């Protein structure tokens, strides 16, 4: 029997593209949060391979990274018994709902998306329609699961806003259909920046590998990259304007250790950047070690990962189909008698 004193748990949906090996930016800004959210929410985490092909991908790499993406989620602490994990292209409802939502999204609002503007500059030889309608597919991802909360980095805020607009518009025209989702943007760790240019976001697709640390980077490389991180000419470990490089390292250190900025400043008073960077590098390497170990154990067991994928796609597909058939009914698509 249902226990009616139990409060219905809210739903979380989020995803990461399998377009490169995840960095500590992805980990601290997103996945680490996903892990703790599992306690209080029903969570669905997706490897969004369909979004990845808005930029040209090498097929063999895409295939491998998709499997690795799932392995990383688990290695980072997403529990397949608690949360649903799946690959976007395994649930056809994403593409199907995306079409319907696209017919309820305006050309003008998509033109205003900053990520579209950025990416079409960066890939000016391949400004394809998928790049333009990317936010519609993302809205479909979120709305299919009647998601309440979407944990994302600050760079995705605009995409959540358009998903809300699309949901509200659809509900207005066709009656209550979608839960209107909210963005959840964590404070610390929300924007880990590049180690070589702290004015830019740390990105797994940055051509300079010294600008990021992968989650599965070797200990030596982790320490080396952090030691070489660009900082200012001052020598004080302090969270202040004009010290973007140091602030970034403090963010990394704080996210891994839970220490406040003040505490970190105290810890390194009278010490130089060298000591600080070494401490950040070693802490980072220590914290990543168990993830790396688990990742190699998992990727050696492809059949286990495939069985998880299949299971995830079934569970997600069941929920998604329910929403999709509700949408099809509302918009007047002819329903065949069952």
Residues in contact with ligand TRP by CB under 6 A are: 13-15, 17, 48, 51, 138, 141-142, 150, 152, 156, 159
Q: At its nearest, how many Å lie between ligand TRP and the CB of residue 141?
A: 4
178/253 with CB nearer ligand TRP = 178
Between 14 and 254, name the residue whose CB sits nearer to ligand TRP. Answer: 14
Nearest approach in angstroms of CB 46 to ligand TRP is 7
Neighbours of 212 (CB within 10 A): 26
Alpha helices in the chain, H assignment, sequence order? 24-26, 32-37, 49-52, 59-76, 93-102, 107-111, 114-122, 129-144, 157-174, 219-227, 244-257, 261-267, 273-299, 302-331
- Residue 266 annotated as catalytic: no
Query: By three-state DSSP, how is residue 199 classified?
Result: coil
Q: How far is the CB of 84 from ligand TRP (least distance, A)?
A: 13
Residue placing its CB nearer to ligand TRP in the complex, 17 or 211 = 17
Q: Quick one: 70 or 229, whose CB is closer to ligand TRP?
A: 70
Q: Map residue 32 onto helix, strand or coil.
A: helix
In the bound state with ligand TRP, the residue whose beta carbon lies nearer, of 133 and 156, is 156
For the record, the structure tokens of 228 come out as 């070489």
SS3 23: strand
DSSP annotation of 29:
I
Q: Is-catalytic flag, 204?
A: yes
Instruction: Determine which one of 201, 225, 243, 277 is catalytic.
Output: 201
Give me the least distance between CB of 15 and ligand TRP, in Å please. Answer: 4
DSSP bridge partners of 46: 15, 86
Annotated catalytic, 201? yes
Of 138, 120, 113, give the one whose Cα is nearest residue 51.
138
Q: How far is the CB of 258 from ligand TRP (least distance, A)?
A: 25
Active-site position among 11, 32, 191, 204: 204
Q: Catalytic one among 11, 32, 119, 191?
A: 119
The residue of the chain with the least Cβ separation from ligand TRP equals 15
Tell me how far, at minimum, the Cβ of 278 lies from ligand TRP, in Å: 31
Q: How far apart are CA 178 and CA 164, in angstroms?
A: 9
Q: Tell me the Ramachandran region of residue 76: left when phi exceeds 0, alpha when psi lies from -120 to 50, beta otherwise.
A: alpha
Q: Which residues pair with 150 in a beta bridge?
A: 183
Q: What is d(CA 52, CA 229) in angstroms, rounded to the nearest whole number?
A: 29
Q: How far apart are CA 150 and CA 45, in angstroms?
A: 10
Active-site residues: which are they?
119, 201, 204
């Amino acid at each position: 029997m249902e226990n009616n004193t139990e409060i219905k748990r809210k739903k979380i949906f989020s995803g990461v593209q399998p377009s490169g090996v995840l960095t500590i930016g992805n980990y601290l800004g997103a996945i680490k949060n996903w892990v703790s959210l599992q306690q209080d929410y029903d969570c669905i985490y997706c490897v969004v391979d369909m979004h990845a092909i808005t930029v040209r991908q090498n097929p063999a790499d895409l295939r491998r990274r998709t499997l690795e993406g799932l392995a990383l989620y688990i290695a980072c602490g997403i529990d397949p018994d608690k949360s649903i994990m799946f690959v976007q292209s395994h649930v056809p409802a994403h593409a199907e709902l995306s079409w319907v939502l696209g017919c309820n999204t305006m050309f003008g609002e998509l033109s205003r998306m900053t990520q579209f503007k950025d990416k079409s500059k960066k890939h000016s030889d391949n400004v394809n329609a998928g790049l333009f309608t990317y936010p519609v597919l993302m809205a479909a991802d979120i709305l299919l699961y009647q998601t309440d909360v979407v944990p994302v980095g600050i760079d995705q805020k605009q995409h959540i806003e358009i998903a809300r607009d699309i949901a509200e518009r659809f509900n207005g025209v066709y009656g209550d259909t979608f839960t209107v989702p909210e963005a959840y943007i964590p404070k610390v760790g929300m924007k880990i920046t590049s180690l070589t240019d702290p004015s830019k976001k740390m990105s797994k697709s940055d051509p300079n590998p010294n600008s990021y640390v992968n989650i599965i980077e070797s200990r030596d490389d982790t320490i080396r990259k952090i030691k070489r991180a660009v900082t200012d000419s001052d020598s004080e470990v302090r969270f202040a304007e004009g010290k973007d490089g140091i602030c970034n390292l403090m963010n990394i250190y704080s996210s891994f250790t839970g220490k406040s900025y003040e505490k970190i400043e105290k810890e390194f008073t009278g010490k130089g950047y060298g000591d600080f960077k070494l401490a950040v590098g070693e802490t980072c390497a220590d914290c990543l070690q168990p993830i790396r170990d688990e990742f190699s154990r998992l990727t050696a067991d492809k059949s286990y990962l495939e069985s998880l994928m299949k299971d995830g796609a079934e569970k997600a597909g069941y929920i998604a189909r329910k929403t999709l058939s509700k949408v099809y009914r509302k918009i007047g698509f002819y329903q065949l008698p069952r």
